Amino acid sequence: MIPFAPFEPDRTRYAIDASTAQINAIPVKDGWGPLADLVPVSQALNAPCLGAWSVRKQDGTYRIIAATATDIFEMSAIDYSWPVISGPSAPYAVPVGDRWSATKFGQLLILCNLGGPAQYLDVDVGTEFADLPGSPPWARYCATIGEYLALGYIAGHPNRFMLSGIGDAGFWTLGQRGCDLQDFADGEEIMNIQGGERGAILSHRTAFTEIALTAGGDYSFTTRVINPSRGVFAPLSVVPIGPGNFVYYAQDGFFMGVAGQPIGAERVDMWFQELADSQYLNQVRGYPDPFRKIAWFQAQGVTGEKFLLGYHWQLDRWCFADNNVSEMCIMATPGIAWDGIEALFPDWDSADIPWDSALLSGGALRFAAFTTDNRLGFFTGEPRAARLTTADVQLSTNSRSFVQQARAVADCPDFTLTAITSDKHGGARTEGQPVPPYPATGVCHFRSSALLHAFRMEIPQGTDWKHAIGIDPVARPEGQR
């Protein structure tokens, strides 16, 4: 059997344990599995989303919040529209290329950006946002660290880190109640804050710093540079994958953790740099899908279209998808009622939501995204059209092969196989016609003579499948020419 190997396009197409061409399939323990399509469930925002969050109230229900460059909205549970809940400082002015940063501090949802004052909302009883008390500085990033609200990349001071007073996100008088700041001389600007109960990891452009909260004394925290030679190039690319661990994009590729363990070298780094538009590499954005254990990195290609490169952090494998979506997030499903379906679709025949979908029950956390027309959707739809390709393999030792048939080792009922042949290593590759399986046997019949054979399996949109492992060809040896 020729396996559908891990997606590693930096490697040669002759390596049987690597594939240079896979699309819209995700790594699973036994090969590859389907990538669910995005199902829009809301009406459209009036502008591109620059941040979205679902926040849990103390009664167990969720509120769905989204923000644009100028306003903040809450999704209606009745008609899935987006009523404005901005505070008095609106319209806001998020700088071009930036996003909102958010953290939950107790029952307060706190949002910040470099273009104006931080905003807060009591998620249990609040009806609209307001300026955070205490006149905190404008900042690009916020995080909750123990009982402190932390701000990083302060307006005018990109290397500054600051803590609020202990237990009070609205207290910002320096030197009192633990409110303190630090300007870092090394590492350049702050790119990300990974907060925890006892401290945080600061990602700089060229370094990583550990923040440790203190139990008393003259300072509320101490700092220690834990990697002086590795940092983050794309600030929005940092994806947390576990306590104290994360993956990110640096100038020379993809890495994991403060130690800078390479995860893309000799696998996807060179391919990614060729496919992505170099002008926008610092805008690569990362999002975790904790349900599939995949960190998705979104980049803009040289054609102007966006694409997704995924890293499965448990299986240590990569995948590629051609979804052109906007903001991605973890979101609670809204629970779509019968009246809600009528509000979202022109008729019942157009409703493409499965009746057993989590979207209908509500309250389930799922990986979500906004479409290019600014509608919130969930990746709970039918499988996307997928393409899996094997390596170029010499099936007969020291000779050509004549392939008579091939069987897909997969639970997929609908697909085609295409034989891709070449007469020598480095020679031109010729693609045959797509061949469907014979219904009674599942076998695809070929008459293909070549030195090297590869097979491409194409699975149509909406096909029900779970695993695709590889191709089992039947071939007889031929001569050397």
The per-residue pLDDT for range 112-162, each reduced to its tens digit, is: 999 999 999 999 999 999 999 999 999 999 999 999 999 999 999 999 999
Tell me: do 17 and 145 sit in the same domain: no
The phi, psi pair for 262, rounded to 5°, reads -65, 135
CB distance 384 to 438 below 8 Å:
no
Residue 244 has a pLDDT of: 85
Same domain, 20 and 55: no
Are both 9 and 88 inside the same structural domain? no
User: What is the residue-averaged pLDDT of the chain?
Assistant: 92
Per-residue pLDDT at 348:
46
What is the model's pLDDT at position 364?
Answer: 74
Q: What is the pLDDT of residue 365?
A: 80
Phi/psi at 74 (nearest 5 deg)? -125, 130
The reply to whether 394 and 258 lie within a common domain is no
Lowest mean pLDDT among 362-371, 456-465, 468-477: 362-371
High-pLDDT (> 90) share of the chain, %: 84
Confidence of residue 304 (pLDDT cuts 50, 70, 90): confident
- Residue 227 to residue 235: CA distance in whole angstroms: 17
Residue 18 shares a structural domain with residue 126 = no
- Mean pLDDT for 407-430 is 95
Confidence of residue 355 (pLDDT cuts 50, 70, 90): very low
For residues 250 and 130, membership in a common domain is answered with yes
| Residue located via tokens 């973890």 | 330
- 106 and 175 together in one domain: yes
Is the pLDDT score of 358 beyond 60? no
Domain carrying residue 154? 39-264
The reported pLDDT for the residue numbered 343 is 54
pTM: 0.91
pLDDT grade for 226, boundaries at 50, 70 and 90: very high
Which one of 239, 264, 289 terminates a domain?
A: 264
CB 33 within 8 A of CB 25: yes
Verify that 70 and 125 share a domain, yes or no.
Answer: yes
Task: Indicate whether 468 belongs to any domain.
Answer: yes
pLDDT at residue 272 is higher than 50: yes
Phi, psi of 358 (to 5 degrees): -65, -20
7 lies in some domain: yes
Is residue 107 located within the same domain as residue 139?
Answer: yes
In a domain, 363, yes or no: no
- The first and second tokens of residue 45, run together, are 């925002």
The whole-number pLDDT of residue 338 equals 44
Contact present, 220 and 172 (Cβ < 8 Å): no
pLDDT > 70: what percent of the chain?
93
pLDDT-based confidence at residue 478 (cuts at 50, 70, 90): confident
DSSP H or E stretch at residue 419: strand 416-422
Q: What is the pLDDT of residue 288?
A: 93
Residues 21 and 135 in one domain: no
Measured CA to CA, the distance from residue 401 to residue 476 in angstroms comes to 6
Clarify whether residues 251 and 185 are in a common domain: yes
| Calpha distance 103→143 (Å, rounded) | 5
pLDDT of residue 214: 92
Whether 339 is covered by a domain: the verdict is: no
Total domain count, the chain? 2
Residue 130 lies in a domain: yes
Answer whether residue 434 is part of any domain: yes
What distance in Å separates the CA atoms of residue 86 and residue 376, rounded to the nearest whole number? 19
